């Protein structure tokens, strides 16, 4: 799995945090084609709006957004629009909701669950996963030892046990099984 950009624009394309907010460069288009020919997973986290849109026009394989938020619950330039959500789902892709305040516009389990529910309602439960960002770089409302809070929040929001299992990991496992070589 490879991301196309992180905190800066680069020779492949624009970053959500970059100055230009540009899309894929001609070289970036070659990179995406090569990644697909190698059966690599493309992670659109941190990519600019235009880079995401450019990638979604040319990919033929599912993409992943490993840690993100959605504009429907938290409107900012890093988060995905409804149209992007739909196009990612149409690829067979996966959207993993982050836990930090910029992703979900809050610092509570309820804020995280609201973003998960919004995403599931827009694109279907099979395209939603957790994208906590437990890497120590951002402040989160709890650590991995308290993940049961998310399960409890999803139960309280009315999700079925089957749907919660998908969100909590089965969707990610399925995605990886489909995308990784046998």
CA distances, 10 to each of 37, 63, 77, 104, 143 (Å): 22, 20, 18, 27, 32
Quick one: which H or E segment has residue 32? Answer: helix 26-37
pLDDT value at position 78? 85
**C-alpha angle 110-174-156 in degrees, rounded to nearest 5:** 20
Partner residues linked to 58 by β-bridges: none
pLDDT value at position 134? 60
CATH domain 66-182 topology: TIM Barrel (3.20.20)
Q: How would you write the pLDDT of the chain (182 residues) with one tens digit per residue?
A: 999 988 888 999 988 877 787 899 999 999 999 999 999 999 999 899 999 999 999 999 999 999 999 999 999 888 999 999 999 999 999 999 998 889 999 989 999 999 999 999 999 999 999 987 766 566 667 677 788 999 999 999 999 999 999 999 999 999 999 998 87
Domain boundaries, the chain: 1-61, 66-182
**CA 75 to chain CA centroid, nearest Å:** 15
pLDDT value at position 17? 78
pLDDT value at position 142? 65
Instruction: Count how many Cα atoms sit within 13 Å of the Cα of residue 158 in the half-sphere of its side chain.
Output: 5
CA distance 111 to 155: 14
pLDDT value at position 43? 96
Which pTM does this prediction carry?
Answer: 0.93
């Amino acid at each position: 799995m490879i991301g196309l950009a992180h905190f800066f624009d680069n020779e492949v394309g624009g970053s959500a945090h970059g100055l230009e907010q540009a899309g894929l460069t001609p070289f970036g288009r070659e990179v995406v084609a090569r990644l697909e020919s190698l059966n690599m997973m493309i992670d659109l986290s941190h990519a600019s709006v235009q880079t995401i849109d450019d990638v979604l026009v040319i990919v033929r394989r599912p993409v992943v957004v490993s840690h993100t938020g959605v504009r429907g619950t938290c409107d900012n330039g890093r988060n995905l629009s409804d149209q992007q959500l739909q196009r990612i789902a149409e690829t067979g892709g996966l959207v993993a909701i982050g836990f930090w305040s910029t992703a979900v516009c809050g610092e509570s389990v309820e804020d995280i669950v609201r973003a998960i529910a919004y995403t599931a309602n827009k694109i279907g439960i099979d395209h939603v996963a957790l994208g906590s960002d437990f890497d120590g770089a951002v402040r989160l409302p709890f650590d991995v030892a308290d993940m049961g809070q998310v399960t409890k929040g999803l139960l309280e929001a009315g999700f079925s046990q089957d749907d919660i299992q998908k969100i909590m990991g089965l969707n990610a496992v399925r995605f990886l099984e489909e995308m990784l070589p046998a």
